[in-house]
Amino acid sequence: MTDERRERGERRRREVLGDAHVDRSQADPAGLDAKFVDLTTASAWGTVWASDALPLRERSMITLAILAATASWEEFELHLRATANTGATPGDIVEVVQHVGIYAGIPRANTAIKIAKRILAEMEG
């Protein structure tokens, strides 16, 4: 993993998730999760998310769909909040959840829409 990729990942991670989230995740640099944070920053954020092949909006929608389809609800919530920075709209989220319902199952889509309603209401108010 190169320093350049890690730095690119750090910038993109902050752009998408916000400084407050990233700062919290890095609060204990010697902690149990330090190596994992470094790995995901360089690989997920410095490679996948930093790619210019897809706009952030579409990348965000794909991520939400995968997280809902795999019932990764904590990360789903995190990435719902990140839509404020990626440009994915509430209408986009509805479309994502419909796809999840058809391709991954109605129970997961039902949970996703309940979470989305709660998170979007929190973000508005």
pLDDT value at position 69?
A: 98
* pLDDT 10s digits, 53-87: 999 999 999 999 999 999 999 999 999 999 999 99
34 shares a domain with 63: no
Distances from the Cα of 35 to the Cαs of 31, 84, 119, in angstroms? 8, 28, 29
In the chain, % of residues over pLDDT 70: 98
Name the domain count of the chain: 2
79 shares a domain with 27: no
64 shares a domain with 34: no
Boundary of a domain, candidates 38, 53, 68: 53
| Global confidence as pTM | 0.93
41 shares a domain with 11: yes
Provide the domain limits for residue 105.
54-125
Q: List the Cα angle 103/97/59 in 5-degree steps.
A: 95
36 shares a domain with 13: yes
